[in-house]
A and B are shown apart, each in its own frame.
Chain A
Amino acid sequence: MAEPLDDYIDAVSKALALPVEEAWRPVVRANLEVSLRLARLVDEFALPDETEPAPVFTA
């Protein structure tokens, strides 16, 4: 049965011309789930609209 992220992985794989063989898919998916979970944690944190990235750390 297809996992929820499989369609997304297929679409990005095509868009980036990045091969994902079937044998790799479960690990790629597991890694993507971790990345998205952690990214969500950052996303949930409200930042002012004016916040800019910190490109080069000059402190």
Chain B
Amino acid sequence: MTDHLQKEVKRETGEGTDLWRVILAPTIWAVHFLVCYVAAAIYCEKAGRMADLLPVRLIVGTATFIALAGLAAVFISLWKVRGLSSVNDDYNYAGNTPEERHRFLSHVALMLCVLSGVAILYAAFPALVLEVCR
């Protein structure tokens, strides 16, 4: 019994099924997407078709930097859970304990984090190429 408890404590990575942890990365992606597109739409509507896109490109660049930094923070915290999970080979995918749920959701969140990073980079690419509003 004691051994079992000790093992539980050793492999403890955290608890809870906090959904915010899962959707934090996609939320950063959504906000970045909105900032880029809304900024470009408002700027081009006010400045006209032939306006230089430089201000929008700067906004997109800054938003992308902040978004990727945020994703990196999320990624690191999730990677720690994965690191702890990999220490022991007792991780049971079929398990139904708060610990197992926590690890599983962290794994899902980690995948979403990678997906969000790719999506943010793709959304930012056009700002590298486009020069005028048109």
A binds B: no
Q: Which residues of A contact B (CB under 8 A)?
A: none
Q: Which residues of B contact A (CB under 8 A)?
A: none
